[in-house]
Chains A and B, each alone.
Chain A
Amino acid sequence: MARFIGRRLLHFIPVLFVVVTLTFFLVRLAPGGPFDAEKARSEEALAQIERVYNLDAPLHRQYLDYLAGLIHGDLGPSLQKPERTVTEWILLRLPVSLELGVYALVVALGIGLTAGVIAALRPNTFTDHAPMSFAMVGICIPNFVLGPVLVLVFALWLGWFGVEGWGAASEKVLPSITLGATYAAYIARMTRGSMLEVLSQDFIRTARAKGLSEARVVLRHGLRGGLQPVVAFLGPAAAGLLSGSFVVERIFQVPGLGQEFVMAARNRDYTMVMGTVLFFAVLIMLFNLFVDIAQAWMDPRIRHERA
């Protein structure tokens, strides 16, 4: 197992190198620069500020300088928000994104697994169709619709939860549900599908024949196999929850990393784009690694193949 993890970690290096290189040149190819503004800067003013941030050097020089900085862990200052470095901005925003992501994941798993298992128990009956139709709706409603609707009902009409912000507990409920809902729907459908397959297999019949209680058969024996695809989905989902929460962060004014990421790209804040992309790349790779480890633990077949 240690060798497996070590080898995977080594693979990170070339992947990150490709990500850095691609991002660096792609963001420079986009028209417009960080200091273009509605009120034009004079050529002298632009030249001054480009000199300060080393943007006047030839592109390959800037690239090599960036790589050199990166090796020392230096992501540079943000061009748009110069009073903090990119690293500081990421560290400032990360806890909020993590918190939101974890809550959303709890929502997604809680609702998704329950609905999926219930649906799989009696396929093609009401207890199957009801949660599955609900899941279909969840997948179809985009979060920029779901968010404001939830706010309207639970915050403005009922006054139960906060409208925006990320301080009191009451402000964290609606963004977590909004962000988790889509994933809950996917997880429900996925759980149902794989549970149906697992529950029809021989070892389940054996378990039932042994006289185990239905709850034990389903939760202990069924779910362990049925969760396989869900776990595989969790890697990219977790990364998506952390990086793709821009819309939810904006609707609820949550100070997370997703906003930083999207605004940096929009503002051509080169250093911030590089920093956040790199950070998310590492995150996605790590989550995929965790998923592989979890799957190996859950399924002996994978464990043997890889060893």
Chain B
Amino acid sequence: MIGMSRQGVWNAAAAAMALALALGAGCSKTETPAVRAAREGVLLVGNGAEPQALDPHLVTGVPEHRIATALFEGLCDLDPATLEAVPAVAESWAVSDDGCVYTFTLRPDAKWSNGDAVTADDFAYAWERILSPALASEYAYMLHCIKNAKAFNEGELDAFGQVGVRVVDARTLEVTLEEPTPYFLEMQIHYTWFPLHRATIEQFGGMTERGTKWTRPGNLVGNGAFTLERWEPNRVLRVVKNDHYWNADAVRLSAVEFHPIEDTLTEERSFRTGNLHLTENVPISKIEGYQRDTPGLIRIDPYYGSYYYRLNVTRPPFDDVRVRRAFAMAVDRDTLVARVVRAGRRPAGNLTPPDPSGYTCAASIPYDVEAARALLAEAGYPNGEGFPPTELLYNTSENHKLIAEAVQQMWKDNLNVHVALLNQDWKVYLSSMSTLDYQMARSAWIGDFVDPINFLECFVTGGGNNRTGWASPAYDALIGEARRTLDAGQRMAVLEKAERVLLDEAPIIPVYFYTRVFLIAPELRGVESNLLGYINFKRLWFEPEARAEG
């Protein structure tokens, strides 16, 4: 009997082998899935992690943002090349002289995927929902720039009527802000601002009920250029062109498939075998190979993110500004980035990444070993003597480790100080940071919108993202002044002053500015380089003949 079953096993295995051979040979030799999909106008995207949810009010990540921008559309969109606000659901808008009141006129032909008209009430409904304390949306704070929104969100106000959102008529929406917010229009591409279809949400549960079935395929009603066709968790999420979309004629893709592949090596293999047109990432070890052999397949775009080390200023030795400056000035960022970080990243002497069309901070922390040693001596540690035991904390990752080891060596060589390295698992690391249970910690910030205030306001006294214990009344005053300043040039000057204060006091050590590195199929067109890594699916198309030429 056992002999029989073994025979059966072998037969089955042989059959499976033969089948796999036939299938494998069938698709790899003639036409890859990517080539076939391109012919049909179907974009295959590697999308990093599996989305947590599809409800735009329950999510917090980048993978979810990609999907939400395909399924929904806000008042304005961004031109992917310039990042300027362009009309979307709103066909036009007017701004009051004090910069605090925005009046949007909605286009008459904006439709939901079931054919209903998109009205001003749909925006008011969505914003009331995300700000409701009972929903407990983690990203509700994105809307706190609306007048009284914060008070309503935190339960101090009961009536949404007191929040600065007024539905004038079905096609007119008036929004009153707490203070002039120059990036208000640009923020509208963030999923927290998208309208929602009231009838759909309430068909499957209450307004503030979390995790109801309204986002399932077949149920979800959106107003984006695409509509949800199927979602097989951890396999694929497929959206297809929405014929009710007001600008459907301009949309050239017929569908987008989001493939959740967290492992970058797996993603790269998938791209290489022709299963993806666009990847989320590229393993660092593979970048140089692509640049050398097939430069047309890899893109390295500047990205609005900063990598830096936080210093805990509430504990010795980093309670002394001279020690902090000395450590910051003893890091040779140019060498570090060229030899260790790589991936086209740029050395950072300040916090806010440069924006060629806007703010670029002129100040930077120099690499100056002499001055660093002098400062350390002045602080009472000549040639590093008597320096207390110090630890640099990072969350477990091979890249963070390599960078930390290189910096550790620089401090040893330049300051004669030994810094121990400590790695912690992600959540443990976050908990250590927020309770200030560390001395130095690896950190990063990726901008939500392109404005230096998004980086700089992290470090106001007591801010949730400060996490260094650093407090400077002068800095807080400058950030406050920038918030009230209407003139763009003047506002940037005030922000630069604030950044100088931050660099002088050095509660952080900037290391590098991020880039977004990804692989792209030669036939895919319209993926513009922009600081936010914003991919506007409405504007992408294929030129299948491009692969043959390449």
Contact = CB atoms under 8 A, between A and B. Distances in A.
B247 interface: no
Given A255-B233, A255-B235, A109 B9 contact: yes
B297 to A, nearest CB: 15
Contacts of A164: 261, 266, 269-270, 275
B550 interface: no
Given A83-B54, A106-B12, A162-B273, 13 more contacts: A30-B428, A32-B431, A48-B133, A77-B211, A82-B52, A83-B55, A84-B211, A110-B13, A160-B25, A162-B24, A163-B269, A164-B266, A259-B234
B89 to A, nearest CB: 25
Given A151-B269, A164-B261, A219-B3, A49 B23 contact: no
- The 3 A-B residue pairs whose C-beta atoms are closest, nearest first, are A32-B427, A255-B234, A40-B464
A161 B24 contact: yes
Interface in B2-20: 2-3, 6, 9-10, 12-13, 16-17, 19-20
A235 to B, nearest CB: 19
A164 B17 CA distance: 17
Nearest to A224: B2
A33 interface: yes
24 contacts: A30-B427, A30-B428, A32-B429, A36-B430, A37-B138, A40-B467, A42-B154, A45-B140, A82-B210, A83-B216, A89-B233, A106-B13, A148-B265, A159-B29, A160-B24, A162-B24, A163-B269, A163-B272, A169-B23, A170-B20, A170-B27, A250-B263, A266-B427, A268-B427
Contacts of A163: 266, 269-270, 272-273, 275
Interface in B40-64: 50, 52-55, 58, 60
Contacts of A43: 464
B9 A219 contact: no
Contacts, number: 175
Nearest to A155: B273
A169 B20 contact: yes
B25 A159 contact: yes
Interface residues of B, number: 72
B54 A32 contact: no
Nearest to A167: B235
Contacts of B235: 165-167, 255
A267 B426 CA distance: 8
A253 B430 contact: no
B310 to A, nearest CB: 12
A77 B53 CA distance: 12
A113 interface: yes
B81 to A, nearest CB: 27
B545 interface: no
A253 B261 contact: yes
Interface string A152-190: 000110011111111111100100000000000000000
B28 interface: yes
A112 B50 CA distance: 36
Contacts of A251: 263, 265-266
Size category of the A interface is 35 or more
A33 B270 CA distance: 34
A83 B6 contact: no
A38 interface: yes
B278 to A, nearest CB: 16
Residue in A42, A109, A215 with the greatest tally of chain B CB atoms within 10 Å: A42
B10 A110 contact: yes
Contact of A42 (B234, B259, B464): B464
A287 interface: no
A252 interface: yes
Contacts of B263: 250-251, 253
A33 B427 contact: yes
Contacts of B29: 159
A251 B268 CA distance: 11
Contact of B428 (A32, A48, A106, A148): A32
A165 B46 CA distance: 12
Nearest to B132: A48
B269 A250 contact: no
A39 B465 contact: yes
A109 B2 CA distance: 11
A43 B464 CA distance: 9
Contact of B427 (A36, A107, A255): A36
A303 interface: no
A119 B134 CA distance: 67
Nearest to B154: A44
B153 interface: yes
A114 B464 contact: no
A18 B298 CA distance: 53
A83 B219 CA distance: 13
Contacts of B428: 30-32
Residue in B53, B136, B211 with the greatest tally of chain A CB atoms within 10 Å: B136
A220 B133 CA distance: 70
Contacts of B275: 163-165
Contacts of B234: 93, 253, 255, 259
Contacts of A227: 2
Contact of B269 (A38, A156, A160, A267): A156
Nearest to A84: B211
Nearest to A50: B136
A289 interface: no
Contact of B2 (A51, A92, A168, A223): A223
Interface in A36-78: 36-45, 48-49, 51-52, 77
A168 B262 CA distance: 21
B434 interface: yes
Contacts of B17: 173
